Structure 1
Amino acid sequence: MTCELEKRVMRKITLRIVPFIMILYFIAFLDRVNIGFAALTMNEDLGFSPTVFGLGAGIFFLGYFLFEVPSNLILHKVGARIWIARVMITWGLVSGAMAFVQGTTSFYTLRFLLGVAEAGFFPGIILYLSYWFPAQKRAQVTAIFMAAAPISTALGSPISAALLEMHGFLGFAGWQWMFVLEAIPAIILGIVVLFWLTDRPEKARWLKEDERAWLISTLAAEQARKPASAQHSIWSGLLDKRVLALALVYFGTSAGLYTLGIWSPQIIKTLGLSSMTIGLLNAIPAVVSVLAMVLWARHSDKTNERSWHVIAACLLAACGLLFAGTAGTVVTVILALTLVNCGISASKPPLWSMPTLFLSGPAAAAGIATINSIGNLGGFIGPFMIGLIKQHTGSFSWGLWFVAGLLVLSSLTVFALSSMSHRKPTSRDSAITHPKIH
């Protein structure tokens, strides 16, 4: 009976929560990286050099970094429903305002404000999932949620390319239409969040009484089984060495992710292709990576192992970037970008399953936000260094190899983290400090 009840509850909360938050992340990621497609025409219109564009694209993450932890702590206190709605509406307004960029100052300012507006969304959702899903289900659910990022690239690339074709309509450039039209869904969905999202299982009227009771008791029992050393306070979440190590790991994966999201259209453009062809080709690696992400996360959950799943994925992405630096044909460039996409996407679900294994309550809110805020500075460094190196060398190669080095550093950090502890596991879910090594 319990097994049947568990399946029924998991199915209900998965269908209720996961598709909706995937749509939210789809729009968030699209608004975050559509600057890469805007650059195909915007840079020439506004006279932006590769360095100026790379700095402006990456400065998003400075605003994100400064406001990430406070935003997630507010979400933990006031609830996901109100705070996620606030995040989406404000980022939609700022993203739409990008259509009115006139020069470097307005470009830098709006990209910074976009980071401030969106701060707290991703770690807030990761924290929110921990309120609803037991730990052994979390990597797979996180993978399904995070699949929205490569899906956003897959579907958003041809859409963004098509919107660029609106150039001249009503006197506006194609990139201006792209920013405005792709910002509207964020504002609309922000309003929908207020009516659809449920903060905690205790408030889930869409669950039957026995279903709600089972879920609450299961999650409470899981909390009770955490090691005595499990951290609960805000400062524990901020200062835990494992949190800081995971932030370094996430730094490398973020550098890889946003190098792809922001620069891959221009890397493909060097092959002399049209905007629409670039949009279609840029979608291919993302489509393949969705499958890789879900299958890798399922294997991570099945084996109850996290560390080696992150290490292997990071090394695959690094190899893809090394390959991309020497690729010179359409086939080899897309193959290289596919390897990078698969590695980056597959690394994230097992990585994000780690913090809630040793943190809970305010510490989890602060720890997850710390990992995301510090780690996402890689999203600043990666795109900026690509632009800077491109301007000085005339090639993307050395910039791609620089980001590959950051991913190797991520894999070494996970290896060191998993090797540091030799204590006997106190919980079957203590995969962060005692990974199963096969």
Structure 2
Amino acid sequence: MVDRAVSKFLRRVMPMLVLMLVVNQMDRTNVGFVQDDLSADIGVGAAAYGLGAGLFFISYAIFEVPSNMLMERFGARVWLTRIMISWGAVTLAMCFMHGATSFYALRFLLGIAEAGFFPGVMYYLTTWLPDSYRGRASAIFLGGSATAYIVTGPISGAFLEMHGLGGFAGWRWMFAMEGGISIAVGLVAAFFLVSRINDARWLSAEERTALTEAIARDRDARSREPKVSRLRLVLHPQVALLTLVFFAMALTGYAITFWLPSLVDDIGGLSPFQVGLLSAIPWICAVIAMYTMSRYTDRMPDRRPYLAIVLVLSAVGTFLATLGSPWFGLAALTLAAVGSKCGANLFWPLAQSSLDLKVTASGLAVINSLGNLGGFVAPTLFGYLEETTGSTNGGLYSLSAASLVAVIGVYLLRRPGAGTGTAAGAEAPAPVPAPSAH
């Protein structure tokens, strides 16, 4: 009965959640395709662009917890659709930007609007799915993140081709159209999302009862787990090391996200749509490599050597991007993107298996929230170095160094399974759904 209820949820609700995540990723990263346009039209230089791109992550981190508290109060149907409609409105408003100040303000507002979406969906899954089914649902949802990296370039490039239509610049059309799509999807989502199991008319009474009881049993088991303060978590050696590694990985991932289109544009003679298509190549290769590698590493008891290898690949890729032609740079950044995506795929299972059981769930949340601040540091540092040196090479060297530091951190981690707090002969708990550098 529980299997049947879960299958219905996966068929009816998960596709909408995946679509929402794809649009979410597109709206937060689309500024990467208009850096040169913002500089030429409204005077947003490299340093200002980097700061504005990064400000999103500051407001997102500040308002993430309050947003989740409000979602618990109002329910997923109301709150997740509110989040989506409001971030669509802010994205649409970006087509009216007229200088660096409005760019900063709207990027900060976008972070406020989006705050809580990803963890909100993760919480939503806990209210609908027992622990033993949640890993599958999380994998389906996170697949939307990989898809977003691939489709954002071509879609944004196509909207940029509307340059001059109605007397508006292509970048203004891009923000207007993608913001409108977000609002439309948010309105449609209101008809697909159901906050509570008892409100799902597409479940039978027996299915609702069985699913509710299964989730209640999981909650009772979790309520007996010891609580650990956030301050103690930050000072926990394993949590601190994992946060350092994830922060370094986030630096590379977000730097590539925000600066890749500009680097591709240096090839010259390309239309905005062609820039978008070429910008998708590194992510297509990264997703293929990620899923191929996971087939082998999922069976390995110790993922540390593999994570170290892909981090070195990121370091080599970002370093090689400083050499040769823009085409060579694109190939080098493809290596870096492969390393970044494969690293994220290896990192979270490693984090789950190397933390003490008593701090696993809360420790992963701390690692995700602090590590994602790399999304602020990376574009800000990149922009500052480009404006002061006239080149992105300094930023790429910094990413190489950060990846190599992360390699050291990986080998300082305790071997997975060593002293994680599972008593001999005791059954290990179900894996905690992995957060993401979303």
Normalising by structure 1, we get a TM-score of 0.82
Aligned to 2:428: 428
Would the alpha carbon gap of residues 406 and 229 (structure 1) be closer, same or farther in structure 2, given more than 3 Å must change? farther
Q: Does 2:370 match 1:377?
A: no
8 Å CA contact 2:234, 2:366 repeated in 1: no
Q: Does 2:57 match 1:58?
A: no
Aligned to 1:279: 276
> Which residue among 248, 265, 278 is the counterpart of 2:261?
265
Aligned to 1:162: 158
Q: Does 2:287 match 1:290?
A: yes
8 Å CA contact 1:230, 1:358 repeated in 2: no
Shift of the alpha carbon at 1:416? 3.7
1:104-253 equivalence runs, <5 A: 104-133=100-129, 138=134, 141-201=137-197, 203-209=199-205, 211-212=207-208, 215-222=211-218, 229-231=225-227, 241=236, 246-253=242-249
Aligned to 2:390: 394
Aligned to 1:436: none
Would the alpha carbon gap of residues 122 and 348 (structure 1) be closer, same or farther in structure 2, given more than 3 Å must change? farther
Q: Partners of 1:108 and 1:185 in 2: how far apart?
A: 23
8 Å CA contact 2:86, 2:183 repeated in 1: yes
8 Å CA contact 1:36, 1:262 repeated in 2: yes
Normalising by structure 2, we get a TM-score of 0.82
Shift of the alpha carbon at 1:123? 1.9
- Deviates further, 396-405 or 211-220: 211-220
Q: Does 2:38 match 1:42?
A: yes
Aligned to 1:70: 66
Would the alpha carbon gap of residues 322 and 380 (structure 1) be closer, same or farther in structure 2, given more than 3 Å must change? same
State the secondary structure of the residue aligned to 1:167. coil
CA-atom RMSD, angstroms?
3.6
- Deviates further, 383-392 or 106-115: 383-392
Q: Which runs of 5+ in 2 are unaligned?
A: 433-438
8 Å CA contact 1:85, 1:194 repeated in 2: yes
Aligned residues: 424
Would the alpha carbon gap of residues 230 and 58 (structure 1) be closer, same or farther in structure 2, given more than 3 Å must change? same
Shift of the alpha carbon at 1:92? 0.6
Would the alpha carbon gap of residues 18 and 371 (structure 1) be closer, same or farther in structure 2, given more than 3 Å must change? farther
Would the alpha carbon gap of residues 154 and 84 (structure 1) be closer, same or farther in structure 2, given more than 3 Å must change? same
Shift of the alpha carbon at 1:230? 4.3
> Which residue among 304, 321, 327 is the counterpart of 2:318?
321
8 Å CA contact 2:51, 2:376 repeated in 1: yes
Q: Which runs of 5+ in 1 are unaligned?
A: 433-438
- Deviates further, 108-117 or 417-426: 417-426
Q: Partners of 2:235 and 2:205 in 1: how far apart?
A: 38
Shift of the alpha carbon at 1:178? 0.5
Q: Which amino acid aligns with 1:384?
A: T
Aligned to 2:77: 81
Would the alpha carbon gap of residues 94 and 309 (structure 1) be closer, same or farther in structure 2, given more than 3 Å must change? farther
State the secondary structure of the residue aligned to 1:325. coil
Question: For 1:261-308, what per-residue CA distance to the aligned partner results, in whole angstroms no more than 9, with x for missing partners?
Answer: 210011112222413322111111222223333445565666687766
Aligned to 2:338: 342
> Which residue among 26, 40, 43 is the counterpart of 1:30?
26
State the secondary structure of the residue aligned to 1:147. helix
Question: For 1:134-159, what per-residue CA distance to the aligned partner results, in whole angstroms no more than 9, with x for missing partners?
Answer: 55665554343223234223222122
Q: Partners of 1:141 and 1:67 in 2: how far apart?
A: 25
8 Å CA contact 2:357, 2:422 repeated in 1: no
Would the alpha carbon gap of residues 22 and 309 (structure 1) be closer, same or farther in structure 2, given more than 3 Å must change? farther
Would the alpha carbon gap of residues 161 and 430 (structure 1) be closer, same or farther in structure 2, given more than 3 Å must change? same
Shift of the alpha carbon at 1:82? 1.8
Q: Which amino acid aligns with 1:386?
A: F
